[in-house]
Amino acid sequence: MDAPRLRKKFRTTLLSIVVATGFSLNTYADGLPDLGEISQAEVSPHAERKAGEAIMQEIRALEPNYLDDPEVASYLNRLGGRLGANVENSRQAFEFFALRETNLNAFALPGGYIGVHTGLILAAQSESELAGVLSHEISHVTQHHIARMMVSSSQGQIVSMIAMALAILAARGNSDATMGAIVAGQAAGIQNQLNFSRDFEREADRIGLDLLEKSGMDIRAMGTFFERLQKFGRVYDNNAPSYLRTHPLTTERIADMANRIEVRPHKTVEDSLDFSLVRAKLRAELGTPVEAISDFKQLLTTELKGGALVGAHYGMARAQLRARAYADAKRELSWLRQAPQNQFTSPMLDTLVAEVMTATGDAAGAIKVLTDAHGRFPQETAITYALIDALLVTKNHDKALSVIAEALLSFPNDAGLHERQAKTFAQMGRRVQQHRAQAEAYVLLHQLPLAIEQLTLAQKEGDGDYYENSRVDARIRQLKIQSCEEAKLLNSGSSSFRQRRPVPAFCRFFDRENDTKP
């Protein structure tokens, strides 16, 4: 299915959930609760997490601009984790992800999921500016602002939160999706209803600024970035940054931030090398390869130093790789390896070297580079993925399984590792193990029906021994019970929602089984 059809399907899915729940945005906008009024007892962290998981499942499966890039995701999660580590008295887990969108936006979903548009990453003129936006979104999560936009209803907490968050997601940059909801009669003036209240925004500003300061970032960057957004919105009135649509920015907020920043000590913070490399990677993927090369040629004529200069040469090499100008890309890599001003190291440099080697037929050389990098950066997901993929190209299955097994000890909940394990078993013809590994990947992606389907396929294969088959039987029963419990939880209080998320037929068996227990 092509991208336009996928996007249409995604928007239809978002709107169908809003409509199916009978969710009235006007109902929730009138009389928003006072700050702190809704307690965790009314909307539990578990409920928020389940709502977020349901939304992320839709995004990963249907959003064509979901950016499945481990290097970008790893960087966002490192930066976001640095900020989140300074949240007081909270066990909230965060997951940051990127969408390949040119407009400037970021958004928080229930349960700690935070999306960032690539356009916003490219627009940030410093790492502290990007961190300022992330700290603001983190504060929306920790203060449970989406949950506090709800009031008690007969529909159930999770269903209502899903509808609210998906409506915000639909409106983040897709005016036609917003208009579709209005036509459907769900809310007159939906855009105003979706905006966070001024009190919520001020609260996120205040807490976000504290997080920025505690994390050792430049607090002035938060004010300067929002000021630039505001000026951009005034100049292009009808095409204001998407971020301003769901995060109303007032002169009062700008002044309040300026006052808070003024009384605090300032310090200059140097950008990390990975900030420059991630931005260069995203920039190298814009336009055609020829246009990207021209862009970096122009950039390299400017006065650049340190990480910014390294990033420009890295971006040029990536653009040349896109254009299949391998000799030119190798020259840029040679500069990156030998330049005296490059006093930094990054796994992103190693993966690029390996990509160029693989593209020029030197798979053995790529494996050597990645093996060395894996020893230096054992926690870096992109290096581990690239090494496994290179080993599979050369059919070195035993080594690939060994790398996967070692990585799973540290990252047992990494869906990408389980997917590569399934691919390895498939190449080896070990079908039961292939389906088991793929099932675990689907479980981690919160796609239980697909996981159960994989285990059902495993049951039909004939290459497993008694113990292997027993593990498959036990796991499929466990997942069916979990699937039934989650379906009932998501559908609680909403018969119309059940039409979209039907309770699986096998749940009747478990209901009867439970009824017969003493």
Burial class (CB in 10 A: 0-12, 13-18, 19+), 362: middle
Mean pLDDT, residues 408-427 taken together: 97
pLDDT band at 496 (very low <50, low <70, confident <90, very high): very low
Q: Using alpha carbons, select from 67, 64, 86 the residue that is nearest to residue 75.
A: 67
**Whether residue 155 sits in one domain with residue 224:** yes
**Whether residue 115 sits in one domain with residue 64:** yes
Mapped onto helix, strand or coil, the DSSP state of residue 101 is coil
Q: What domain count does the chain have?
A: 4
Residue 120 included in any domain: yes
pLDDT for 344: 62
Mean pLDDT, residues 253-274 taken together: 85
Give the C-alpha distances (Å, rounded to integers) separating 5 from 64, 170, 181: 9, 16, 19
Residue 269 included in any domain: no
235 vs 8, more confident: 8
Phi, psi of 399 (to 5 degrees): -65, -40
Spatial strand order of the sheet with 95-99 comes to 66-67, 95-99, 113-117, 106-108
Examine the pLDDT at 271 and tell me if it is beyond 90.
Answer: yes
Of 262, 289, 304, which one is at a domain's C-terminal end?
Answer: 262
Mean pLDDT, residues 422-427 taken together: 98
**Whether residue 298 sits in one domain with residue 185:** no
pLDDT for 43: 67
Examine the pLDDT at 194 and tell me if it is beyond 50.
Answer: no
pLDDT digits (tens, 9 = 90+) for 136-184: 999 988 988 777 766 434 445 566 666 666 666 665 555 444 434 433 4
Residue 273 included in any domain: no
pLDDT for 161: 64
> Which amino acid, residue 329?
A
Lowest pLDDT segment from 93-107, 169-183, 259-273, 317-331: 169-183
**Whether residue 475 sits in one domain with residue 379:** no
Q: pTM of the predicted model, to two decimals?
A: 0.82
Mapped onto helix, strand or coil, the DSSP state of residue 113 is strand
Mean pLDDT, residues 279-283 taken together: 98
**Whether residue 408 sits in one domain with residue 371:** no
Averaged pLDDT of the chain: 80
**Whether residue 93 sits in one domain with residue 227:** yes
Q: Cα–Cα–Cα angle for 352, 79, 329, nearest 5°?
A: 15
**Whether residue 299 sits in one domain with residue 361:** no
Residue 443 included in any domain: yes
Residue environment code for 2-26, b if the CB has 16+ CB neighbours within 10 A, otherwise e:
eeeeebeebbebbbebbbbbbbbbe
Distance separating alpha carbons of residues 506 and 481, to the nearest angstrom: 9
**Whether residue 249 sits in one domain with residue 116:** yes
Of 311, 327, 344, which one is at a domain's C-terminal end?
Answer: 344
pLDDT for 228: 81
The domain in which residue 385 lies consists of: 347-394
pLDDT band at 21 (very low <50, low <70, confident <90, very high): very low
Indicate the angle between helix axes 70-84 and 198-214, nearest 10 degrees.
90
Distance separating alpha carbons of residues 382 and 72, to the nearest angstrom: 9
Report the Cα–Cα distance between both ends of the chain, in Å, rounded: 51
**Whether residue 378 sits in one domain with residue 455:** no
Residue 179 included in any domain: yes
Residue 274 included in any domain: no
pLDDT for 513: 54
Q: What percent of the chain has pLDDT over 90?
A: 49
pLDDT digits (tens, 9 = 90+) for 333-389: 998 887 655 556 899 999 999 999 999 999 999 999 999 999 999 999 999 999 999
Examine the pLDDT at 260 and tell me if it is beyond 90.
Answer: no
Of 366, 394, 422, which one is at a domain's C-terminal end?
Answer: 394
**Whether residue 252 sits in one domain with residue 134:** yes
**Whether residue 295 sits in one domain with residue 284:** yes
Distance separating alpha carbons of residues 26 and 34, to the nearest angstrom: 17
**Whether residue 238 sits in one domain with residue 193:** yes
pLDDT digits (tens, 9 = 90+) for 95-110: 999 999 988 888 888 8
Distance separating alpha carbons of residues 181 and 11, to the nearest angstrom: 10
- Token representation of residue 131: 């961190």
Residue 253 included in any domain: yes
User: Which letter does DSSP use for residue 97 in this model?
Assistant: E
Distance separating alpha carbons of residues 335 and 113, to the nearest angstrom: 38
- The torsion of the CA quartet 347, 352, 358, 363, rounded to 10 degrees, works out to -20
Q: Using alpha carbons, select from 483, 419, 421, 431 the residue that is nearest to residue 455.
A: 431
Residue 271 included in any domain: no
CB neighbour list of residue 126: distance below 8 Å, 6 or more residues apart: 218, 221, 269, 271
